[in-house]
A and B are shown apart, each in its own frame.
Chain A
């Protein structure tokens, strides 16, 4: 237990360093700046936008608070992503340990997330991607922790807290609905299995009413414009319809917009390009190919080997339910949305790795793999920090995701 805590703390520290290094000097992206304007618009007048007006507004509330507390600089804009992006690492470690009963798998899953260039990139941006991930991972952890062996509910008070965490996740981005649905269905299933009808009532209240109430309360600045609940329902329907039909913004790169390729095609990415002060700042979130390409084989290993282990199956179901709606979606979906899936995917890779790590040649292979993953992340790291154009070997990745007509690396 102490060793697990120490390892998880070390992984979290590594994750913090990767997320914090040079972040105060990293030029603001247009997304960062627009987030500041969106936060002001929302908190002062209840207006959505100009950035991502169709998404929920918790990030506007948080950014407004941090700008109020720390001023309008880069660190206050990115504070919540840095904090929740880093805290998401131990939460994933604890969740995977709870679901697999393996401390090694927990530490490995947290390490893979700590080293994921996509998670690092968006922990250094003001937008809400890693914030959503943190809240739904916390919701899953609280839900899993409410149960004892054989999935019998032991600590019922944790279930409504899980509902609060899912509500906050939904208030960041709709992706949190998928793990919420999995936990709600599992909770209902276990209650019905044991014929615990009072437990069923707790699950329904916690996973339907609590997230809804938390979600609605984050709209209080909007209600301040004079709206009523029926108008809120109309607004949600209208924005959901807008989101489903959304085909991207004019400056979005239209490459790598098919999630079914995420774990098949190497180096899937999302680029943000900002020109400032005569220079160009390029941030590219690109998956570590050694990890991303291992996801589907790992899912297969877990599916084949862990059929008798109910807890590992939960991780597999979380992965499938979070991934399939995105993979099958007909509209473009960018790599930033992978953060709704990759924590569970990395949990599966961790389980597969753990199997390899039994003493012998397999263990050496697994350790060599982890070392290679670290090296690959280090090579890709300048992409996460706005320094992509300083390294020629990253040029092909940058240009592939460049939505502009000019060649950034030649300074035209």
Chain B
């Protein structure tokens, strides 16, 4: 074997090692919620839900959220004050705090992704809502419709829209499950519990959002979600730290 062949092999080995390192560092960055925390949480508002999940210790999770809405309206790319120009030095250059000031029921899932709690968001919509969204989104760039689900992304971070929870991927993953009161107007508690159980999902944390800040959510939806709460503990699986 010549010196150049050895050199090529050495380079190849180093490169493969670099790719493996990137993959391993990503997977090892995923964290489940602190085991000491309750595994079923109830939030009254989007802000409360965001605070609970942010404080849970979870990072890089797969967030499955059952709701009639997407809650994923991105905030302006940058507040106007950030681009006014000519100010030197630039004040604190992380935008997350500014985004959090605008947190509400329209964007809290987007913010959870921005904050790193979720790396992937799976929106589970009532079947009727899913069908009408797919009809509206026909031909939209960046949305790929597959059999039984649709895939899109937030600058490369996957978002899945589906009428039922997707089966879990082969590898172990941290799953956070959210159920929004808006979903309960479209399905009974038993249907929801049955659908989650049959998906094979094993969430590390379940959070129930009463969505008091969402004017489109009915009181009967909240009642139905409260009724589901005692059964939610049975949904919780592993992956807590």
A interface residues (Cβ-Cβ under 8 A, vs B): 27-30, 33-34, 36-37, 39-41, 44-51, 53-54, 67, 71-74, 77, 156-157, 160, 163, 196, 198-199, 201-202, 204-206, 209-210, 212-213, 216-217, 219-220, 223-229, 231-232, 234-236, 238-239, 241-242, 245, 274-277, 279, 281
Question: Known interface pairs A33-B82, A198-B8, A213-B15. Does A40 touch B27 (Cβ–Cβ under 8 Å)?
Answer: no
How many of chain B's residues touch chain A, expressed as a range?
35 or more
How long is the Cα–Cα vector from A223 to B18 in the complex, in angstroms? 13
How long is the Cα–Cα vector from A45 to B22 in the complex, in angstroms? 16
Residues of B contacting A39 with CB < 8 Å? 93
How long is the Cα–Cα vector from A44 to B96 in the complex, in angstroms? 10
Within 8 A of A (CB), among B1-21: 2, 4-5, 7-9, 11-12, 14-16, 18-19, 21
Contact A239 B15 (CB under 8 A): no
How long is the Cα–Cα vector from A217 to B16 in the complex, in angstroms? 12
CB proximity of A180 to chain B, nearest CB, Å: 15
Nearest A-chain residue to B11, judged by Cβ: A205
Residues of B contacting A28 with CB < 8 Å? 85-88, 90
Contact of B5 among A34, A198, A232, A276 (CB under 8 A): A198
Contact B82 A53 (CB under 8 A): no
Contact A34 B18 (CB under 8 A): no
Contact of A30 among B85, B88, B142 (CB under 8 A): B85
How long is the Cα–Cα vector from A212 to B19 in the complex, in angstroms? 9
Question: Known interface pairs A160-B11, A213-B14. Does A223 touch B26 (Cβ–Cβ under 8 Å)?
Answer: yes
Contact A67 B27 (CB under 8 A): no
Residues of B contacting A47 with CB < 8 Å? 114, 116
B44 at the interface (CB under 8 A from A): no
Q: List the 9 shortest-distance A-B pairs measured between CB atoms, nearest first.
A: A226-B60, A235-B156, A276-B86, A276-B85, A223-B26, A201-B8, A50-B77, A209-B15, A40-B93
Question: Known interface pairs A50-B77, A223-B29, A227-B60. Does A232 touch B2 (Cβ–Cβ under 8 Å)?
Answer: no
Question: Known interface pairs A34-B83, A223-B29, A238-B142. Does A41 touch B60 (Cβ–Cβ under 8 Å)?
Answer: no
Residues of B contacting A198 with CB < 8 Å? 2, 4-5, 8
Contact B15 A205 (CB under 8 A): yes
Contact of B93 among A37, A223, A225, A234 (CB under 8 A): A37
Contact of B22 among A40, A160, A216, A241 (CB under 8 A): A216
